[in-house]
Amino acid sequence: MSKIRVRAHAKINLYLDVVGKRDDGYHNLATVFHSIGLHDDVIIRRRAEKGITVHCEHPGVPCDSRNIAYRAAQCISAAVGGIGGLAIDIHKRIPVAAGLAGGSANAAAVLHGINKLWALGFTQDALMRLGAQLGADVPFCLHGGAALGQGIGDRLTSLPALPEVPLLLLNPGIDISTAAVFKNLNFRLTTEKKEGIIIKTHVEKRDIVGIGKNLYNLLEVPVFSKHPEVAALKTQLTTQAGCYGALMSGSGATVFALMQDTAAAQRSESHFKNRVGFCTTTVTYPVGVSIDN
Ligand code: ATP
């Protein structure tokens, strides 16, 4: 086999609280992640020539060593003392800098794909440890499905993945830097809110109405105050027929709604289609990366 095609799934956060600030400047989180059907395609090929190349048409994605997929290839190659030349092609569907962990998903796909293509034999846990060196969301993207994330989001406890819940995703087309959002967070040390535990219980019970009522993201505070249009989109989503609840994902600016059924999601999609930068329907998904043959 000389090439492998991997689906790199985006994630949403059903809950995100900041529970502490660390000496290294990072924040400790309590978050509930879920993978979603929306994915990029990542194709990895062996090359006779040495070195790593990255190709991606998206204007917001660098194709050199700044690309997290490039760094993932470097990282796993270094861990085994070198694997020779390879080329990475990324077909982007996940909006960039949108709170959906598009870059982290690409890095996870590269680690997973190289491990398979070169038959390196890393276990899932070992790949997740490599992933943690690249970014806080990479371990979850490898884990996939649903999980509670603690620490900087990299300490994961598995939760049962939800069945396919229809989702509507909207992004007003503003790129948001995660680092800037955390910098603008007027941080007060909060104790972990009990809603975090409640939403975990609703996920375990697969109670979509309960999840919809308990969606929470502390990062909405700094993002909504700087970008009121994101808050307005969330309000509009909440008032759609068949919406169980809406929330901003991660550090934004994507907002998502849990919808009662596919028909309701599609009706809302046609309402928003020509009014926002990005609008799509998708579903909650059981895996983060998968080989696409
Ligand atoms: P998170 O939810 O993990 O904070 P995000 O979805 O907000 O991530 P990304 O889409 O991962 O953000 O992109 C963040 C930045 O990373 C962008 O500025 C982008 O240029 C850069 N980047 C590097 N590699 C990639 C990649 N493979 N895909 C997308 N962005 C990348």
What CA–CA distance (Å, rounded) separates 266 from 108? Answer: 30
Q: Do 131 and 184 fall into the same domain?
A: no
Q: Do 81 and 25 fall into the same domain?
A: yes
Task: Report the pLDDT value the prediction gives residue 190, as an integer from 0 to 100.
Answer: 52
Buried/exposed 35-47: b ≥16 CB within 10 Å, e otherwise: bbbbbbbbbbebe
Q: Do 29 and 101 fall into the same domain?
A: yes
Treating both helix axes as pointing N-terminal to C-terminal, what angle do 124-132 and 102-117 enclose, rounded to 10 degrees? 140
Task: Report the pLDDT value the prediction gives residue 191, as an integer from 0 to 100.
Answer: 52
What is the 181 CA–ligand 1 centroid distance (Å)?
14
What is the 80 CA–ligand 1 centroid distance (Å)?
26
Please tell me what DSSP assigns to residue 274: T
Number of domains making up the chain: 2
Domain boundary among 107, 139, 160: 160
Task: Report the pLDDT value the prediction gives residue 108, as an integer from 0 to 100.
Answer: 98
* Cα–Cα separations (whole angstroms), residue 118 to 82, 91, 129, 291: 11, 22, 19, 14
Q: Do 94 and 151 fall into the same domain?
A: yes
Q: What is the CATH number of the domain that holds 207?
A: 3.30.70.890
Task: Report the pLDDT value the prediction gives residue 195, as an integer from 0 to 100.
Answer: 56
What CA–CA distance (Å, rounded) separates 175 from 252? Answer: 8
Q: Do 94 and 175 fall into the same domain?
A: no
Q: Do 82 and 204 fall into the same domain?
A: no
Do residues 64 and 214 make contact, with C-beta atoms less than 8 angstroms apart?
no
As for ligand 1, residues whose beta carbon falls within 6 Å of it are 60-62, 66-69, 90, 96-104, 106, 137, 178, 250-251
pTM, rounded to two decimals: 0.95
Task: Report the pLDDT value the prediction gives residue 147, as an integer from 0 to 100.
Answer: 97
- Catalytic residues, by residue number, are 11, 137
Q: Tens place of pLDDT for every residue, the chain, 293 residues?
A: 799 999 999 999 999 998 888 888 788 899 999 999 999 999 999 999 999 999 999 999 999 999 999 999 999 999 999 999 999 999 999 999 999 999 999 999 999 999 999 999 999 999 999 999 999 999 999 999 999 999 988 899 999 999 999 999 999 988 888 888 887 776 555 555 655 678 999 999 999 999 999 999 999 999 999 999 999 999 999 999 999 999 999 998 999 999 999 999 999 999 999 899 999 999 999 999 999 87
What is the 101 CA–ligand 1 centroid distance (Å)?
6
Pair of tokens at residue 279: 């609008």
Task: Report the pLDDT value the prediction gives residue 276, as an integer from 0 to 100.
Answer: 93
Pair of tokens at residue 110: 């590269």
What CA–CA distance (Å, rounded) separates 33 from 10? Answer: 10
